[in-house]
Chain A
Amino acid sequence: MNCSNVGRKSPQDYESAPFLAACWTYISLAILIMFGYLRDFLRRIGLDKNQSATERNKMKGFVPLYASFEGFFSRNIFKRAIHGAGKPICSPPTVEVDVLERTSDDENWHFRLTGKKRRCINLASYNYLGFAEKDGPCVHATAQALQQYGVGVCSSRQELGNYNIHEELETTTARFLGVEDAITFGMGFATNSMNIPVLMGGKGCLILSDEKNHASIVLGARLGGSVIQVFKHNDMDDLEEKLRDAIISGRPGTHRAWRKILIIVEGIYSMEGSIVKLLDVIRLKRKYGAYLYLDEAHSIGALGETGRGVTEYWGVNPRDVDIMMGTFTKGFGAAGGYIAGSKRLINHLRTYSHSTTYACSMSAPVAQQVISSMRIIMGEDGTEIGKLRIAQLAANAKYFRRRLRDMGFVVCGDDDSPVVPFLVCVPGRILAVMEELFERNIACVTGTFPATSITKGRARVCISAAHTQQMLDKALDAISEVGDRLQLKYSL
């Protein structure tokens, strides 16, 4: 039980963009926007070639299909930096990955491959426990499952797509998490977007969702038609205030009591690297009688002494969380998602989920990959590999974060989380970080406005258990060099 986390003020309460960097961000964006208007003007008068989508001449009199103003950022600002995103890779996303180089002859509108490959240290893939490998016990078991079941399932769970391997996967997942039952789906995003409407459909439902929740949760919440209230990121006082307001004033208009209230939080937030304050959420949930939906997409397998996720990290009984959700894409190196909880909940989902009724079930080799990796983590395969990997991940994450902080970067998130974003703020520098690191054979992910807040453009590193000390040191040296060159060490 990790009592040391109770009551400790987390680092995320302190980090923010430095003032001058924020001002410089606004000026950069203003300059980019001015040049964007200039380029649009040149395109309109014909001096510049218009490569964005337009209607054919025959359709000019109709209601326009493409809103040209909505594409402003995409055309003028993202296009300048799009060569940094979507790079094709041609090897499995292990600790080193082969990235195909490409060039563009018309300012990033069209790319072509140069034929060269670049072997980069992979700081971008969500490969927390290192299960995305080409060889090993998981791969052998998966190959066997492939030969036994083939690839395609050709049916949904409720028709003829319910394999015995799916049942085995679900019992293994339930055993792994320490709950009564679990149900799995073929796609992680769809797990949220297809099942939240089932659980919170109809009138009189209220969803309290964290500010930085993933798009799948937002989509699922909207599809169900319930009223959504957003509380400040990981701010338990704000959550309590919203809970009290909701219960006191009731439904909008009639002021009658809500049928049910659901709090949706994530274990680790992928762009912030912060860990949810689960103890406070459970205390509030019990006090005010709300339900809790915990999305452990990034934290399952990555947190906790035995990899059981954020509930083990905080020492919480998993049965206190009403609906546990997670994905197999990150910690287990497979694809798909699960929802776990009481037998009543899972039986309801087995009947009513859109996914089980209409969507194809998980492919058998993928299910086998999850089963093998889960058993390795639990130690049921008889080796210590699982324990070693979890310990290595925790050590790597702590080491990397500490070194980055010591170098002077503003690092977001909690000390134990394997997602390490550091602030870059200015749009030009965000692109430069991506390019410079790629030159030094490091692959990492960056995010800018409007995908992040306007002053908090960042680069994000995902630590893996398979990263060796030398790789991390090499990466840190490269990041430090780039940080000196681009003046990113805001804390110094």
Chain B
Amino acid sequence: MDRTQPKGLPTRVPVGTMGDGGTTYSGVNPNAVWLNSRGIWLSYVIAVTILHLVLLSIPFLNVAQAWTLTNVVHNIGNYIFLHMLKGTPWETNWDQGKSRLLTHWEQIDFGEQFTTTRKFLFLAPVILFILASFYTKYDPLHFIINLSTMLLVLIPKLPQLHGVRIFGINKY
């Protein structure tokens, strides 16, 4: 058995490499597979680009501040939706509440680590950090802000922190 899989995994071994298996009526948690769907990665990139363009068009922000803000807003959104909110926004009457205690990140691909979706979501903050560092000309204050938000969002994604709740925060 794979050691990185957490306990309490359903006996139903899933499909859905393209996010097409995830429907509530099939008893598979759509949260685990919808990020594998067609076009989702491109949409993610487009959404971040639109966010950045909106921030760039605010008149009193210069380029460096816009990039740092893009990075920070993206990372905070990433943290809230992937690591803070637990459970599913729909009813899961087939799994007896097992996914209610798991964050979205832990539900992806049913807990299997190192899948392509997880790698993509891990790389996105890194790439944004590199771009932000470049466009802020490696200014120290911006660097500290960008680095800390990037760490905030990368550390929960490590497989060692799967299911870990530090000081019991966000446990139930």
Residues of chain A whose beta carbon lies under 8 Å from any beta carbon of chain B: 16-17, 19, 22-23, 26-27, 30, 33, 67, 69-74, 211-215, 218-219, 222, 227-233, 238, 252-253, 449-456
A67-B87, A212-B26 given as contacts; is B20 within 8 A of A453 (CB)?
A: yes
Contact B38 A70 (CB under 8 A): no
Contact A456 B25 (CB under 8 A): no
Report the minimum CB–CB distance from A413 to chain B (whole Å). Answer: 15
The verdict on B47 contacting chain A, using a C-beta distance below 8 Å, is: yes
Chain B's closest residue to A63 (CB) is B172
A360 to B89, CA, bound (A): 37
Can you give 13 A-B contacts (C-beta < 8 A)?
Answer: A22-B37, A22-B38, A22-B39, A70-B92, A211-B20, A229-B13, A230-B13, A232-B15, A449-B30, A449-B34, A454-B22, A454-B30, A455-B38
Report the minimum CB–CB distance from B101 to chain A (whole Å). Answer: 11
Contact A456 B20 (CB under 8 A): yes
The verdict on B24 contacting chain A, using a C-beta distance below 8 Å, is: yes
**B37 — which chain A residues lie within 8 A by C-beta?**
22, 453-455
Report the minimum CB–CB distance from B108 to chain A (whole Å). Answer: 14
A22 to B38, CA, bound (A): 7
Contact A23 B46 (CB under 8 A): yes
Residues of chain B whose beta carbon lies under 8 Å from any beta carbon of chain A: 1, 11-16, 19-28, 30, 34, 37-40, 42-43, 46-47, 85-92, 94, 100
Chain A's closest residue to B35 (CB) is A454
A219 to B96, CA, bound (A): 13
**B38 — which chain A residues lie within 8 A by C-beta?**
16-17, 19, 22, 455
Report the minimum CB–CB distance from B41 to chain A (whole Å). Answer: 10
* Cβ-neighbour of B43 out of A27, A211, A222, A231 (below 8 A): A27
Contact B27 A73 (CB under 8 A): no
Contact B90 A74 (CB under 8 A): yes
* Cβ-neighbour of B23 out of A17, A227, A238, A452 (below 8 A): A452
**A22 — which chain B residues lie within 8 A by C-beta?**
37-40, 43
A71 to B20, CA, bound (A): 23
Report the minimum CB–CB distance from A345 to chain B (whole Å). Answer: 25
**B87 — which chain A residues lie within 8 A by C-beta?**
67, 69-70
Kindly list 13 other residue pairs between chains A and B, CB separation below 8 angstroms, not including A23-B39, A69-B85, A453-B21: A22-B43, A23-B42, A26-B39, A26-B43, A218-B25, A218-B27, A218-B94, A230-B14, A230-B15, A231-B15, A252-B1, A454-B19, A455-B38
A451 to B24, CA, bound (A): 5
Contact B94 A222 (CB under 8 A): yes
A454 to B100, CA, bound (A): 21
Report the minimum CB–CB distance from B86 to chain A (whole Å). Answer: 8
A222 to B11, CA, bound (A): 9
Contact B89 A73 (CB under 8 A): yes
A232 to B47, CA, bound (A): 31
Report the minimum CB–CB distance from A274 to chain B (whole Å). Answer: 13
Q: 5 shortest A-B CB distances, which residue pairs?
A: A72-B89, A22-B39, A218-B27, A26-B43, A450-B30
Contact B23 A451 (CB under 8 A): yes
A170 to B85, CA, bound (A): 53
Chain A's closest residue to B44 (CB) is A26
A233 to B26, CA, bound (A): 12
Contact B12 A230 (CB under 8 A): yes
Chain A's closest residue to B92 (CB) is A70
Contact A30 B47 (CB under 8 A): yes
A25 to B86, CA, bound (A): 23
Contact A453 B22 (CB under 8 A): yes
A230 to B28, CA, bound (A): 10
A129 to B34, CA, bound (A): 37
Contact A450 B46 (CB under 8 A): no
**A30 — which chain B residues lie within 8 A by C-beta?**
47
**B39 — which chain A residues lie within 8 A by C-beta?**
19, 22-23, 26, 455
**A253 — which chain B residues lie within 8 A by C-beta?**
1
Contact B25 A215 (CB under 8 A): yes
A403 to B85, CA, bound (A): 46
A222 to B37, CA, bound (A): 26
* Cβ-neighbour of B25 out of A33, A69, A74, A451 (below 8 A): A451
**B19 — which chain A residues lie within 8 A by C-beta?**
453-455
Chain B's closest residue to A72 (CB) is B89
Contact B100 A67 (CB under 8 A): yes
**B89 — which chain A residues lie within 8 A by C-beta?**
33, 69-70, 72-73
Report the minimum CB–CB distance from A297 to chain B (whole Å). Answer: 14
A450-B22, A453-B20 given as contacts; is B12 within 8 A of A228 (CB)?
A: yes
Chain A's closest residue to B95 (CB) is A222
Chain B's closest residue to A230 (CB) is B15
Report the minimum CB–CB distance from B171 to chain A (whole Å). Answer: 14
**A74 — which chain B residues lie within 8 A by C-beta?**
90-91
Report the minimum CB–CB distance from B1 to chain A (whole Å). Answer: 7
Report the minimum CB–CB distance from B24 to chain A (whole Å). Answer: 4
Chain A's closest residue to B38 (CB) is A22
A238 to B88, CA, bound (A): 29
Report the minimum CB–CB distance from B56 to chain A (whole Å). Answer: 20
Contact B46 A70 (CB under 8 A): no
A26 to B16, CA, bound (A): 18
A62 to B39, CA, bound (A): 43
**B11 — which chain A residues lie within 8 A by C-beta?**
227-228
A432 to B54, CA, bound (A): 30
**B85 — which chain A residues lie within 8 A by C-beta?**
69
Chain B's closest residue to A226 (CB) is B11
